Amino acid sequence: MLSQKARYALRALLTLAEAGEGASMMTGDLADAANVPRAFLERILLDLKKHGLVTSRRGRAGGYGLARPAAAIDFAAVVRAIDGPLALAPCASRTAYRRCDDCADVETCEIRMALLEVRDATAAILERRKLADLPP
């Protein structure tokens, strides 16, 4: 399930994308425009900065902006930055694989096979959707 934090992150990044390439917004303005609580947004922006999705500048003309063009940032990168791997179980993750503690055989596990399909379908959709794909 997508966390509220990830939904807020997506809203904030979509707002920055809508502002245009090279634009930056102060945290308070971004919070208002994206309808995200400011205190929560500040923590989200720090996570997004750590993952290379936003940059920050100090001063009067400062604020947060996209670190790359909106067409180069997909929804999957945002969700991974905030919520971690897309997989529903660690054994189905491509980025953070870990065998389940109670698994007898990962190669024949029917649960894992189904979760791999879910993960692949989810990743395909989220990796295809870019911040630049705003409706006209």
Q: What pLDDT is stored for residue 136 in this prediction? A: 52
Please, what is the average pLDDT of the chain? 90
69-104 pLDDT, tens digit per residue, is: 999 999 999 999 999 999 888 888 888 888 777 877
Averaged pLDDT for residues 20-42: 93
Coil, strand or helix: which one is 133? coil
Alpha carbon distance 83, 95 (integer Å): 13
The two structure tokens encoding residue 106: 């990962």
H runs (alpha helix) in 20-109: 27-34, 38-50, 75-83
C-alpha span between 45 and 49 (Å, rounded): 6
Residue 83, number of CB atoms within 10 A of its CB: 14
| Domain ranges across the chain | 86-128
Q: Which range has the worst mean pLDDT, 27-36, 37-46, 84-93, 121-130?
A: 84-93
Tokens found for residue 54: 């936003």
